[in-house]
Amino acid sequence: MTMQPPPSLPIGLPLGDSAHEQVSFDRRELSVILALYGRMVAMGEWRDYAISALRDVAVFSVFRRTAEFPLYRIEKRPKLRAKQGVYAVIGADGQVLRRGHELAAVLKVLEKKLIRPVE
């Protein structure tokens, strides 16, 4: 009698294979991102978010309205650790607004949006 792999695993991939791993934000990273998100929601700039954990990238997308394209994407790509940096902020048009090794430093490009002139 031969044993069959569990139905949730593809046949031919050993257990623990990197095909099942995902990149995700850790608690500290989410704390930094959600602090900024909370301030922007309080100002009425942002209204919704989505988090995606994929094989090569984790994405925190920010929306002005739920049914729109994201205004910004905050990405974590560990494979770029030795090159441009793990974190990036990408605008709605796909342009990289800032990239770096420190999340707080990368998010400063969005912090500037918090400063408004007083009338």
Q: DSSP per residue over 18-33, as a string?
A: GGG------HHHHHHH
The larger pLDDT score, comparing residue 98 to residue 67, is at 98
Contact 45, 62 (CB under 8 A): no
SS3 category, 77: coil
d(CA 99, CA 106): 6
In sequence order, what are the beta bridge partners of 53?
Answer: 58
23 neighbors 80 (Cβ within 8 angstroms) = no
User: Which pLDDT does position 89 carry in this prediction?
Assistant: 95
Residue 39: partners with Cβ closer than 8 Å, 6 or more residues away: 114
* pLDDT value at residue 69: 87
Q: How far apart are CA 50 and CA 27, in angstroms?
A: 16
| pLDDT per residue as tens digits for the range 23-77 | 999 999 999 999 999 999 998 889 999 999 999 999 999 998 766 789 999 999 9
The amino acid occupying position 22 is Q
